[in-house]
């Protein structure tokens, strides 16, 4: 189905029958992606006395309960409430779901014991394009990212200057295939988060960061329509499902 979507900057035509889902499904157990030193998510039938919410175990319905942490267990979108005393809700602050997005692929550079993404790398890949959202696919890009156990592995991250650059470019929505845009162990500095949301200036309450995406190698770098679908949880972060559509020329 062909649709014309009116964005802030332009009208874009896409085929809605050809979505490109870049989220990671949430699974029960150890085959789920994970970070931040927590147990894997649990999805179990709810039990109450003789009732067990499983058709397999004799119930009329499947009635499951989930134990899940958005920041640890899959694709999630977060707002500035992630790092402020007041827990702002991403559900309340995210109001623009369709955005013009640019997908870039970056190979993090070695810096001491770390691998990092710098402003120079992003500037080179983005050039002078004006976009509302930026999607960063990092190399190497293996299917194992969908089940990677990231705790204590010191994954790549964004340098503070890269986050400052994105904010200065007006990028409202940053999506990346890593567990965080900051270093795994940084003593709570969170320099990239603070820079992207401009915590020391005019705070960007409507800006979001989406982590733990997976962009298949078959999806080429370039411009897309982003549909950022977020579960309506009143929390700093929520499970999300970003979907891309390739523009029709």
Q: Where are the domains of the chain?
A: 2-27+72-245
Q: Does position 88 have pLDDT exceeding 80, yes or no?
A: yes
With a cut of 90, say whether residue 87 has pLDDT above it: no
pLDDT at 9 > cutoff 80: no
What per-residue confidence (pLDDT) applies to 240? Answer: 98
pLDDT value at residue 73:
97
Strand partners, 241: 229
Residue 97: pLDDT band with limits 50, 70, 90:
very high
Q: Using the predicted structure, report yes or no on whether residue 43 has a pLDDT greater than 90.
A: yes
Over 80: is that where the pLDDT of 30 sits? yes
Each residue's pLDDT tens digit, 141-166:
999 999 999 999 999 999 999 999 99
Split at pLDDT 50, 70, 90, the class of 10 is confident
Q: Which two tokens stand for residue 57?
A: 């175990």
Per-residue pLDDT at 201 exceeds 90:
no
- pLDDT surpassing 90 at residue 116: yes
Superfamily of domain 2-27+72-245 in the CATH hierarchy: Putative cyclase (3.50.30.50)
The residues near 90 (Cβ < 8 Å, ≥ 6 apart) are 77, 78, 79, 81, 208, 230, 233, 235, 236, 237, 238
What is the predicted pLDDT for the residue at 222?
Answer: 97
28 pLDDT tier (thresholds 50, 70, 90):
very high
Banded model confidence at residue 8, pLDDT cuts 50, 70, 90 = confident
Question: In the prediction, which pLDDT does 249 show?
Answer: 81
In terms of Cα–Cα distance, which of 160, 231, 225 is closest to 189?
160
What angle separates helix 160-168 from helix 119-126, to the nearest 10 degrees? 40
Q: Which two tokens stand for residue 146?
A: 């969908």
- Give the pLDDT band (50/70/90) at residue 6: confident
pLDDT digits (tens, 9 = 90+) for 181-190: 999 999 999 9
Judged against a pLDDT cut of 80, whether residue 96 lies above it is answered with yes
């Amino acid at each position: 189905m062909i649709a014309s979507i009116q964005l802030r900057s332009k009208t874009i035509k896409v085929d809605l029958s050809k979505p490109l889902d870049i989220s990671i499904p949430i699974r029960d157990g150890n085959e789920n992606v994970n970070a931040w030193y927590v147990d894997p998510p649990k999805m179990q039938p709810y039990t109450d006395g003789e009732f067990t919410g499983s058709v397999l175990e004799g119930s009329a319905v499947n009635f499951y309960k989930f134990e899940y942490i958005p920041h640890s267990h899959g694709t999630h979108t977060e707002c500035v409430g992630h790092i402020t005393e007041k827990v702002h809700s991403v559900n309340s602050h995210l109001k623009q779901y369709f955005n013009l997005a640019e997908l870039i692929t970056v190979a993090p550079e070695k810096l001491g014991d770390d691998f990092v993404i710098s402003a120079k790398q992003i500037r080179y890949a983005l050039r002078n394009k004006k976009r509302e959202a930026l999607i960063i696919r990092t190399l190497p890009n293996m299917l194992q990212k969908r089940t990677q156990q990231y705790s204590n592995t010191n994954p790549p991250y964004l340098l503070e200057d890269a986050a400052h650059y994105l904010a200065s470019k007006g990028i409202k929505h940053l999506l990346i295939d890593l567990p965080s845009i900051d270093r795994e162990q940084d003593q709570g500095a969170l320099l990239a988060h603070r820079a992207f949301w401009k915590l020391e200036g005019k705070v960007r309450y409507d800006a979001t960061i989406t982590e733990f995406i997976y962009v298949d190698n078959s999806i080429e770098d370039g411009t897309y329509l982003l549909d950022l679908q977020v579960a309506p949880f009143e929390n700093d972060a929520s499970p999300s499902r970003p979907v891309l559509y390739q523009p029709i020329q």
